[in-house]
Amino acid sequence: MKDCKIKTLQIDTPVCKSTVHCGEGAFEKLVPAMAKGQIFTVTDSNVYRIHRGIFTDVFQPRGKVYVLPAGEASKSPARLFDILKAMLGAGLMRNCTVFAVGGGVVGDIAGLAASLYMRGVNLVQVPTTLLSQVDSSVGGKTAVDLCGVKNIVGTFYQPREVVADPRFLRTLPAREIRCGLGEIIKYGALDAGIYGKLLSNEKRLKDPSFFNGIVYDCIACKADIVRRDEREGGLRKTLNLGHTTGHAFELFYKRRSHGEFVLIGMYYELYIAVKKGICAPGYAKSLLGLIKSVTSVPAPENVREACLAARHDKKNVRGGEISLVLPVSEGCVRVSELPQEEYEALVAECAGHGFGEVLQ
């Protein structure tokens, strides 16, 4: 076991302290000691199948393991209440600990269950995907989907601990790597230091050896933002770069992973930023190159219909306007509101013609 590379950072907010451990060997070194007293573990069918040994050795001897069907469909109110019933059936008390062992879906719904049960019990996030390690396990957002709207029911609830171990990344399929890279490139657009590393390592972006350092960099970037704005009153809104259009397309088209849709959302919102004179063409070309190095961007049909889902996005602050986070320059973004009609027209224009002359 290697523990010399484990890095730790603290996220202190007005209501909670959250400790993040990141590095090779973190799971083996830290999690068995955390799994004391009453515990309840939530995972999904894929993680349980691939990493069955950690459940039989660490979690099952100490408490119930609840296995979700893998996929976004499990992030539902019905499944949430089934987890809560299982927690009640297990006789859990307020000093119990919920372990969320999996990707973003597991972390979101298990975190929400932990925040609701007895008005809040201990939560430990053990993210097993690249996306959940760099983003969703950190910062305390929990949620389920409702009536076709993503993450519309949820809480801000900080995990007591987050354990991000690269051992889990070695079993991920290529699609999950692309999914995580979507969020990593987002952090590059938010942080000039991360952006520089992405540009200088563009040919290594899918190399597992590259993840060891960049995962911690992304966590540190998010942690700094969450410390200053836990509940998304201002600065934390910038973490939604690519998500307004990405979520709308994800709900409508469904064929790709969340992180890929974030990249596709960034593509369209980058186009809007250039057209509105917010982002300089030179930087746009550079960021566009990173996006296309990870995923292809389709010109989908029924774009205006897909954009309708953005009307229900929880980030909107005024009726009839869509809230967007638009790239400006390296490490700099701007939160802007566009009328729904203008937003739909610009997205449709980009889908029809691509960037074309706007970068000339």
Tell me the catalytic residues.
119, 141, 183, 222, 232, 236, 240, 243, 247, 258
**How far is it, in rounded angstroms, from Cα 95 to Cα 294?**
43
**How far is it, in rounded angstroms, from Cα 205 to Cα 174?**
12
For 23, which DSSP code? S
Token pair of 338, please? 């566009």
Q: CA torsion angle for 207, 209, 212, 218 (degrees, to 10)?
A: -30
Helices 104-116 and 77-89 cross at an angle (nearest 10°) of 60
Token pair of 58, please? 């660490």
For 94, which DSSP code? T
**How far is it, in rounded angstroms, from Cα 50 to Cα 86?**
23
Token pair of 137, please? 């396990």
Supply φ then ψ for residue 16, to 5 degrees.
-160, 155
**How far is it, in rounded angstroms, from Cα 205 to Cα 181?**
8
**How far is it, in rounded angstroms, from Cα 102 to Cα 100?**
6
**How far is it, in rounded angstroms, from Cα 27 to Cα 201?**
27
**How far is it, in rounded angstroms, from Cα 321 to Cα 319?**
6
Interior/surface letters 219-257, b for 16+ CB within 10 angstroms, e for the rest: bbbbbebbbeebebeeebbbbbbbbbbbbbbbbbbeebb
**271 exposure class (CB count in 10 Å sphere: 0-12, 13-18, 19+):** buried
For 238, which DSSP code? G
Q: Say if residues 18 and 159 touch (Cβ distance below 8 Å).
A: yes
Instruction: Tell how strand 332-339 and strand 122-127 pair up.
Output: unpaired
